[in-house]
Structure 1
Amino acid sequence: MADVDVNRADVLEAWAEPLEAWLTDSAISEGRSRRTVLAFSRFSAWVTGRGLGAEDVNEDVIDEYVDLERQRSGSRVPAAAQYLPLVKRFLAAHGVLVLRPPLSRRRDGRPRLREGPLDEAVLDLVGWLQGQGYAAGTVVSVACTAARLSSWMAAQGSGVQDLDAALLARFVASQARSRRRRHPSSARRIVTVRKFLLATGLLAPPSLPPPEAPTPAEQLLQEWTAHLCTQRGVSRGWANETRRWVAGFLAELAVDSDRNLIWDGVDAAAVNRYVARQGQGYSLASRRHLVSAMRGLLDWAFLTGRVNCSMSAGILRPAPAAPALPHGPTTVQVQALIAAADTSTPAGLRDRAIVILISRLALRAGEVAALGLDDLHWHDGRLVIHGKGERVLTLPLPSDVGQALVDYLRDGRPAGAADRAVFTRLRPPLVGLSSKGVSGVVAHLAAGAGLGTVHAHALRHTAATAVLAAGGSLIEARELLGHARTDTTMVYARTDLVALRELVTSWGKVPGP
């Protein structure tokens, strides 16, 4: 760089040689160093011409000079804009000036808006996504998709009132085939945008087709299930279950000119043929439900005058057979399930607590999903379970269950969960797990432990048999399982081998007192 003339009678000439040495030490290329020194020389002459001293040089002065160079050259990036940033760093390193702190480029998830009909909604979308617990990167990408939608709607001449599913579909298609800027990710992100638009009422829910007029069989089913719920006190779930069993039978009945079902040809033999045909392939318990449903329907038909005699007694039950023994994972297998949960992760802490909770307290998957923070009563060591058939159970909180819950709630449950469910999703939206989600947790751990297919319900059997094996009674097992009737729990009596062994007469001894 001997050809560079930096010996000028200006206020910064003393820094020319140190700048050259600093550039060399900083491994700046020779060409870039030469141009930087030339740019510094011109800047130094400009400073001298303005009557400024070295103590007056700061970033504002340098930026003013760069702006003047832009105006003079007509270029957006003149030499001063390219090389004086290096001069700034050099002068700051030698204490001549103090650099301004870098400007934050964070926009808190807000995209750049271009005056569209959804601009205000996009800002609301950012807050909604953050409230749902979405990651910062996801917030930005979804909000940018919404901003592009707003800009596209403005270009199409569409307003908020034009929002519908067809418009969103056209937007996604335009994003996929655009020649200038393609955004194929819009097809995924628009799903979250649609959820926000529906939640805020900006997008009307899809209109359902008008319901078709119910058939005579459907009308009768509605009357019968209403009778079961109001007059018999049957739960809505059981009413729907019985409705499913008898729907096929009613659909086979003929209809008269007044759209009434014709019951004249209904007799016990016809019903038994339907039961035998409909029950094929079902378990013994399911076939019994079928018979009970048909008997209940025929009793109601007799009471309402649709048939002239009671024929429910003529409906034959399926051949008796001993139901299979309840079978659940062994204690060793349960421990393998628990060990399969990686407790170094939030998901592992949650999954471990779920397995311990079910295997110790015999909860159903739906009961685990419905468990809320307000159901945990730590001060008196109990928890409230919302069981099947709207029953509310109060169970003790064992120490191992309580410790597993504490570990999860302290280090695993998301801080921004959207509701007060104990077990929540770990990815947005951070809402409570469904019963299918709880079952999926057990199935996932079973696969990881090499146990094959293990259903969450099987852990209930493990807990019930453990109660009996420890000397508990059927009443205690019933309370734990939340059964409405003791006869439902009687099947576990055959698994209590210790109690049954006392009833066996020794070989060669005559039974007796």
Structure 2
Amino acid sequence: MTNAESHWLDEFFRYLATERQLSAHTLKNYQRDLDALHAFMAESHIDAWSALDANHVRQFAARQHRKGLSGSSIQRALSAARTFYKFLAREQWVEHNPALGVQAPKSPRKLPQTLDVDQISGLLDIPVNDPLSARDKAMMELIYSSGLRVSELVSLDLSDLDFHDASLVVTGKGQKSRMLPIGGKALTAIDRWLKYRDQITPYTQTALFVSNRGNRISVRSVEQRMEYWGKRLGVEGQVYPHRLRHSFASHMLESSGDLRAVQELLGHSDISTTQIYTHLDFQHLMDVYEKAHPRARKKDD
């Protein structure tokens, strides 16, 4: 592939970062998927983006499947290819999008792990006696209270909170902002944390949650602290930020039945993403049914 052809990948990544303002994590996924497509083209002696056709893309998807990639991973790669070719067409470099009609093999959808209400209560019953325990309790209360992604949690600034209205503004995927309510227990935990926070960070620091060095806390640190508390408090299974978010969604849907409202709270652009929690709720009902109904299960004579 010539330099003139190869440079379009750099132009595309620049477009994603500047015009679409995608996160570093999303950019990394795009790069990995398109690098794989680029490598396939080189091995197949396809020397121009315009020379790639739908049959080639199907071969690429089949090769990724043989490598052991899941259906969702292949679908993501095909989506990256479609977006890239849409960009190339906009720049008048190609006239067709070879990935449009190609579908990835379906893979079974895994239901998210959740904690039940009693487990949540046990996890959030953190004994607060120092800045770190106060911070950790506030972080976990807020994720469960408002259904935050961990990336949204660590990016929060003090100015994003409104104690008077019991609300906060978060910036989610695609730089889209949404306003969320904060529960009473989370507000109390945050208020307690703020009293400790001033002891470990200068007044110029804008981040709501900081490390013991006074800097904005990282995603990895949040994950490690939640894993620590899960083990210390004897919670069954691994405790991680997204499990609290899943628990929030499941409990909200179970109590309200309002799928659209849960979609808005979670910041899902597509309601089909939220619908997985209806399957989770149905699985819970099936478990209850099988345990409670006298004729739900066959019994040996």
TM beyond 0.5: yes
Q: What is the match of residue 352 of structure 1?
A: 137
Cα distance, 1:254 vs structure 2: 5.2
Show the counterpart of 1:481: 266
> Is 1:222 the equivalent of 2:7?
no
Q: Report the AA paired with residue 71 of structure 2.
A: L
> Given the alignment, which residue of 275, 286, 290 partners 2:77?
290
CA deviation vs aligned residue, 1:1-48 (integer Å, no higher than 9, x gap) = xxxxxxxxxxxxxxxxxxxxxxxxxxxxxxxxxxxxxxxxxxxxxxxx
What do residues 459-501 of structure 1 show as CA deviations (whole Å, max 9, x unaligned)? 1110001111112401111121111222221222223339989
In structure 2, distance between residues paired with 1:406 and 1:306: 55
Unaligned runs of 5+ in 1: 1-213, 502-513
Partner of 2:230: 446
Tell me the residue number matched to 1:464.
249
Cα separation, partners in 2 of 1:467 and 1:284, compared to 1, 3 Å: same
Q: Which residue of 1 aligns with 2:33?
A: 245
**Residue 98 (structure 2) aligned to one of 306, 311, 328:** 311
Change in CA separation of 1:349 and 1:322 when aligned onto 2, cut-off 3 Å: same
Structure 2 CA distance for partners of 1:409 and 1:307, relative to 1, 3 Å: closer
Partners of 1:362 and 1:463 within 8 A in 2: yes
1:289: how far off? Answer: 0.8
Match of 2:63 in 1: 277
For structure 2, the 5+ residue unaligned runs are: 287-301
CA shift, 1:363, in A, is 0.7
The one of 183, 188, 195 aligned to 1:403: 188
Are residue 336 (structure 1) and residue 122 (structure 2) matched? yes
Distance 1:288 1:422, change over 3 A: same
Correspondence list, 1:369-380, <5 A:
369-380=154-165
**Residue number among 151, 174, 179 corresponding to 1:366 in the alignment:** 151
Cα deviation, residue 299, structure 1:
4.9
Alignment match, 2:291: none
Query: Which structure is larger by alpha-carbon Rg, 1 or 2?
Result: 1
Cα distance between partner residues in 2 of 1:360 and 1:393: 15
Which residue is 2:292 aligned to? none
Query: Which of 492, 496, 499 is the equivalent residue of 2:277?
Result: 492
The aligned amino acid for 2:156 is L
Does the 8 Å contact 1:217/1:251 carry over to 2? no
Question: Is the CA contact (8 Å cut-off) linking 2:72 and 2:106 kept in structure 1?
Answer: no
- State how far apart, in whole Å, the 2-side matches of 1:318 and 1:349 are: 46
Q: 1:481 to 1:223 in 2, by over 3 A?
A: same
Summarize deviations over 1:409-456 as a string: whole Å, max 9, x none: 22x324251312221112x3x112122222222111112123342221
Higher RCO, 1 or 2 (CA under 8 Å, sep at least 6)?
2
Letter matched to residue 346 of structure 1: P
Residue in 1 aligned with 2:201?
417
Conserved? CA contact 2:88–2:94, under 8 Å = yes
Considering only aligned residues, what root-mean-square deviation do their CA atoms show, in Å? 3.2
* CA shift digits 1:312-332 (9 cap, x unpaired): 3453x1233441222212222
Q: Deviations over 1:162-187 (max 9, x none)?
A: xxxxxxxxxxxxxxxxxxxxxxxxxx
Aligned pairs for 1:106-145 (under 5 A) are none
Amino acid at match of 2:29: E
Contact 2:155 2:207 in 1 (8 A): yes
Distance in 2, matches of 1:448 and 1:365, equals: 21
Bigger mean CA offset, 292-301 vs 324-333? 292-301
**Cα distance in 2 for residues equivalent to 1:345 and 1:225:** 44
Q: Residues 464 and 492 of structure 1 are in contact (CA less than 8 Å); yes or no, is this contact kept in structure 2?
A: yes
Q: For the residues of structure 1 that align with 2:188 and 2:130, how far apart are their CA atoms?
A: 16
Alpha-carbon separation, structure 2, partners of 1:396 and 1:264: 49
Q: How does 1:137-216 map to 2 (within 5 A)?
A: none
Give the total of aligned pairs.
278
- State percent identity of aligned pairs: 27
CA–CA separation in structure 2 for the residues paired with 1:356 and 1:263: 49
What is the letter of the counterpart of residue 491 of structure 1? I
Name the SS for the 1:432 alignment partner: coil
Question: Structure 1-normalised TM-score?
Answer: 0.48
C-alpha separation between the residues in 1 aligned to 2:207 and 2:15? 35
Residue 335 of structure 1 aligns with an amino acid whose one-letter code is: S
Q: Give secondary structure in 1 for the equivalent of 2:178.
A: strand
The answer to whether the 8 Å contact 2:40/2:60 transfers is no
